[in-house]
């Protein structure tokens, strides 16, 4: 970190700045126990900066390598977007007019800094004055100009002028600090503000909990044009809805009445296997298409596909089967089989080596001396741990085993090798 920038902006003494710099990679809990032996270090602030940068090294590596950045309290770091997901939002917002944008729930400003790069005028709105000061400082470090406003999101919305884009990420915690997922329980409630949001912007991007059913979210909001389900390392992280009002050319060409669940669906998968995100896009019509179902048994030599978390969340299994020549093992099993290692990349691919029922003799023959395996279950009467114990296996190794149920109700154990 640049000591001068921190000292001038945050008014911390030289000992505090030196402590942060010298202990940047140390264990924060050990530092807290050690304490300030000289009595001149602002320990709470210093420990927060050390912990914040360590979190950023994993979540926001580019920002973490920027000298002079100041980090907010841990909760804001925990809640902020990752560098990858922020970049995706910027890409989503890259189409259409780029004159002005407003982020009504700025937080640590990660999404704002990514999205606003493409706009001539940008406004960051945040009710927490300390976060406003932090973001104002960091924008200066990054040589970025923006209008930073300390205000409540709803109050600012009532008085703001028209912009090209509004971005809003409602807080998903109640006043008591408990997590909440229902849209109406978040703050602000975008279902109540939807008409006003669309009146004040050509487009509105809303970030919601990945726990939500996207169909239900679309039914509660007007003008949803796109749904983006974003996963990182096979963990679903974000549900994004892109809305546009009836005044836009796109809305006039494709009118969508309130509550009609017919947007474009994009399942986005960030993975270490690919430099670029893997994206599966489904039209409104495709989203309702039924999948092909396997009618017989899974045979050794077949290829087994486990979709990524974003594709699973999207649930558009019909077009998935049609595009890649796959069949769903059973309606509720969420595993797919094909005759060849096809082009489907948004997930994992395995080759089935052996198949067994729950009969113990069959299982012993199918395992053939295997001692370790990675065990998963899909629509199966046993948990993964229960199946592992039943098979007498230790966790790990190159073998992958799936317990699942076929369309005829039969329970099978699929012993596989990973292809990708």
Give, in order, the Cα–Cα distances in Å from 330 to each of 286, 293, 294, 336: 19, 6, 7, 8
d(CA 137, CA 122) in angstroms, rounded, equals 16
Closest CA to 287 of 260, 326, 256: 260
Whether the Cβ atoms of residue 387 and residue 403 lie closer than 8 Å to each other: yes
Instruction: Give Cβ neighbours of residue 340 (< 8 Å, ≥ 6 apart).
Output: 303, 325
What pTM was computed for the model? Answer: 0.88
> Worst-scoring range by mean pLDDT, 61-75, 114-128, 237-251, 292-306?
237-251
The whole-number pLDDT of residue 9 equals 44
Instruction: Give Cβ neighbours of residue 265 (< 8 Å, ≥ 6 apart).
Output: 214, 226, 227, 229, 281, 282, 283, 284, 287, 314, 316
> Worst-scoring range by mean pLDDT, 25-34, 84-93, 104-113, 346-355?
25-34
Mean pLDDT on 204-232:
95
The percent of residues above 70 in pLDDT, for the chain, comes to 91
User: How many other β-carbons are positioned within 10 Å of the β-carbon of residue 233?
Assistant: 12
The whole-number pLDDT of residue 154 equals 97
**Which comes out higher in pLDDT, residue 249 or 309?**
309
Whether CATH 3.30.2130 fits 289-418: yes
Q: What angle (nearest 5°) sits at the alpha carbon of residue 210, between those of residues 131 and 167?
A: 45
At 141-198, the pLDDT tens digits run 999 999 999 999 999 999 999 999 999 999 886 666 667 778 988 999 999 999 999 9
Q: Return the DSSP state at 117.
A: G
Q: Is 106 helix (H, G, I), strand (E, B) or coil?
A: coil
Whether residue 287 has pLDDT greater than 90: no
d(CA 257, CA 260) in angstroms, rounded, equals 6
The whole-number pLDDT of residue 6 equals 43
At 297-326, the pLDDT tens digits run 999 999 999 999 999 999 999 999 999 999
The whole-number pLDDT of residue 175 equals 61
Instruction: Give Cβ neighbours of residue 28 (< 8 Å, ≥ 6 apart).
Output: 47, 50, 51, 54
Whether residue 129 has pLDDT greater than 60: yes
At 358-381, the pLDDT tens digits run 999 999 999 998 999 999 999 999
Q: Do the domains 289-418 and 79-282 match in fold?
A: no
Q: Which band of pLDDT confidence, cut at 50, 70 and 90, is reported for residue 3? A: very low
Q: Which helix (H) or strand (E) holds 94?
A: none
The domains of the chain are located at 3-71, 79-282, 289-418
Domain 79-282: CATH superfamily, name plus number: Vaccinia Virus protein VP39 (3.40.50.150)
> Worst-scoring range by mean pLDDT, 97-106, 247-256, 306-315, 406-415?
247-256
Give, in order, the Cα–Cα distances in Å from 291 to each of 103, 318, 349, 406: 39, 4, 18, 15
Q: What angle (nearest 5°) sits at the alpha carbon of residue 111, between those of residues 107 and 117?
A: 125
Whether residue 5 has pLDDT greater than 60: no
Whether the Cβ atoms of residue 281 and residue 238 lie closer than 8 Å to each other: no
């Amino acid at each position: 970190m640049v000591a001068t920038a921190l000292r001038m902006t945050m008014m911390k003494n030289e000992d505090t700045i030196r402590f942060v710099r010298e202990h940047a990679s140390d264990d924060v809990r050990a530092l807290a126990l050690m304490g300030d032996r000289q009595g001149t270090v602002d320990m709470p602030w210093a420990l927060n900066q050390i912990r914040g940068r360590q979190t950023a090294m994993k979540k926001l590596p580019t920002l973490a390598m920027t000298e002079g950045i100041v980090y907010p309290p841990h909760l804001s770091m925990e809640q902020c977007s990752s560098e990858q997901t922020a970049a995706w939002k910027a890409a989503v917002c890259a189409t259409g007019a780029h004159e002005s944008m407003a982020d009504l729930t700025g937080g640590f400003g990660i999404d704002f800094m990514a999205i606003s790069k493409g706009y001539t005028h940008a406004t960051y709105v945040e009710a927490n004055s300390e976060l406003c000061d932090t973001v104002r400082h960091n924008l200066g470090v990054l040589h970025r100009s923006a209008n930073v406003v300390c205000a409540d999101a709803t109050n600012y919305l009532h008085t703001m002028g028209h912009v090209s884009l509004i971005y809003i990420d409602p807080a998903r915690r109640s006043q008591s600090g408990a997590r909440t997922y229902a849209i109406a329980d978040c703050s602000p409630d975008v279902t109540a503000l939807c008409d006003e949001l669309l009146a004040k912007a050509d487009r509105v991007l809303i970030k919601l909990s990945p726990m939500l059913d996207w169909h239900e979210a679309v039914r509660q909001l007007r003008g949803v044009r796109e749904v983006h389900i974003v996963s990182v390392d096979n963990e679903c992280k974000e549900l994004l809805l892109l809305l546009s009002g009836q005044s836009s050319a796109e809305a006039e060409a494709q009118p969508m009445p309130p509550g009609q669940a017919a947007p474009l669906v994009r399942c986005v998968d960030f993975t270490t296997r690919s430099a670029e995100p893997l994206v599966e896009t489904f039209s409104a019509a495709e989203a309702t298409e039924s999948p092909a179902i396997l009618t017989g048994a899974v045979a050794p030599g077949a290829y087994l596909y486990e979709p990524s978390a974003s594709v699973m969340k999207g649930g558009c299994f019909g077009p998935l089967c049609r595009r890649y020549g796959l069949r769903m093992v059973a309606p509720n099993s969420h595993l797919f089989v094909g005759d060849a290692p096809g082009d489907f990349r948004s997930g994992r691919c395995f080759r089935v080596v052996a198949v067994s029922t729950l009969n113990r003799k069959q299982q012993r023959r199918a395992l053939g001396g295997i001692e370790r395996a990675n065990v998963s279950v899909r629509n199966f009467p046993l948990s993964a741990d229960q199946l592992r114990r039943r098979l007498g296996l230790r966790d790990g190794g190159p073998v992958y085993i799936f317990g699942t149920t076929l369309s005829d109700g039969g329970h099978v154990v699929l012993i596989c090798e990973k292809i990708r």
